[in-house]
Chains A and B, each alone.
Chain A
Amino acid sequence: MSKREGNASARKRRPDSDQKTEDFVSQSAVISAFRVFQQELDTRHDKYERLVKLSRDITIESKRTIFLLHRVTSVPNVEEVLNEADNKLDGVRQKIGQIAEELRGEDIYQFHKAFTSGVQEYVEAVSFHHFIRHRTLLSLEEINAALVFIKDETVVIKAPGEIQGACVLTFQVTSTDYLLGVADLTGELMRMCISSVGNGDMETPFELSNFLRDIHDGFAYLGNVGPYEVSKKLHTLRQSLGKVEDACYMLRVRGSEIPKHMLADVFSSRTAVMEQDEEVA
Chain B
Amino acid sequence: MSVTEMFSHIQGFLSADQEVREDIRKVVQGLEQTAREILTVLQSVHQPTGFKDIPNKCLKARELFSTVQIHIGELRTKFPVEQYYRFHEHWRFVLQRLAFLASFVVYLETESLVTREEVAKILGTEVNREKGFHLDVEDYLAGVLIMASELSRLAVNSVTAGDYGRPLRISNFINELDSGFRLLNLKNDPLRKRYDGLKYDVKKIEEVVYDLSIRGLAKEPEAGGDK
Asked if A115 is at the interface (CB within 8 A of a chain B CB), the reply is no
Binds A, one of B62-70, B77-85, B199-207: B77-85
Is B10 touching A222 in the complex (CB atoms < 8 A)? yes
Q: Which B residues, 1 to 18, have Cβ-Cβ distances below 8 Å to chain A?
A: 1-4, 6-11, 13-15, 18
Instruction: State whether B4 touches A15 (Cβ < 8 A).
Output: no
Provided the pairs A109-B83, A175-B10, A222-B11 are in contact, do residues A41 and B184 lie with their beta carbons within 8 angstroms? yes
Establish whether residues A23 and B6, one from each chain, have CB atoms under 8 Å apart when the complex forms.
no
A31 lies within 8 A of B10 (CB): no
Taking a contact as CB atoms under 8 Å apart, the answer to whether B179 and A19 are in contact is: yes
Does A162 reach chain B (CB closer than 8 Å)?
Answer: no
B194 interface hit (Cβ, 8 Å): no
Quick one: CB contact mask for B155-194 with A, threshold 8 Å, 1 for yes?
Answer: 0000000000000000010001101111111110000000
For A38, give its contact among B18, B83, B184 (CB under 8 Å): B184
Residue among A42, A107, A222 with the highest chain B CB neighbour number at 10 A: A107
Q: How far is the CB of B216 from chain A (nearest CB, A)?
A: 22
- Which chain A residue has the least Cβ–Cβ distance from B140? A37
CA distance A26 to B172 in the complex (A): 10
Max chain A Cβ within 10 angstroms of own Cβ: one of B7, B14, B83? B7
Chain A residues lying within 8 Å of B10, measured Cβ to Cβ, are: 140, 175, 178-179, 222
- Residues on A with C-beta less than 8 A from B115 are 33
Which residues 1-53 of A have a CB within 8 angstroms of B? 11-12, 15, 19, 23, 26-27, 29-31, 33-35, 37-38, 40-42, 45
Residues from chain A with Cβ under 8 Å of B219 in the complex: none
Bound CA span A267–B21, Å = 45
A112 at the interface (CB under 8 A from B): yes
Binds B, one of A67-75, A209-217, A236-244, A252-260: A209-217
Taking a contact as CB atoms under 8 Å apart, the answer to whether B4 and A218 are in contact is: yes
Closest to A222 in B: B11
A269 partner residues in chain B, CB cutoff 8 A: none
A34 and B184 contact, Cβ closer than 8 Å, known pairs A19-B179, A109-B88, A222-B10: yes
Q: Cβ of A218: which chain B residues have Cβ within 8 Å of it?
A: 3-4, 6-7
A219 at the interface (CB under 8 A from B): yes
Q: Is B212 an interface residue (CB 8 A)?
A: no
Interface of A is mostly: helix
- Assess whether A164 is interfacial by the CB under 8 Å rule: no
Within B62-100, the residues touching A (CB, 8 Å) are 82-86, 88
Interface hits, B41-72 → A, CB 8 Å: none
Q: What's the A-B contact tally at a CB cutoff of 8 Å?
A: 110
Inter-chain CA distance A219–B179, complex, in Å, is 52
B33 contacts the other chain (Cβ, under 8 Å)? no
B137 within 8 A of A: yes
Inter-chain contact B4/A37, CB cutoff 8 Å: no
Flag whether A225 is at the interface (Cβ < 8 A): yes
Q: Which residue of A lies closest to B185 (CB)?
A: A42
6 intermolecular pairs with C-beta atoms under 8 Å apart: A19-B179, A23-B172, A35-B183, A136-B2, A137-B1, A214-B2
Q: Which residues on A are within 8 Å of B, measured CB to CB?
A: 11-12, 15, 19, 23, 26-27, 29-31, 33-35, 37-38, 40-42, 45, 107-110, 112, 136-137, 139-141, 175, 178-179, 211, 214-215, 217-219, 221-222, 225-227
> Which B residues contact A (CB, under 8 angstroms)?
1-4, 6-11, 13-15, 18, 82-86, 88, 112-113, 115-116, 129, 137-138, 141, 172, 176-177, 179-187
* 15 other A-B residue contacts (CB within 8 Å) besides A34-B183, A37-B184, A38-B183: A30-B176, A33-B113, A34-B180, A34-B184, A35-B183, A38-B184, A41-B138, A109-B88, A112-B85, A139-B9, A141-B1, A175-B10, A178-B10, A217-B4, A221-B7
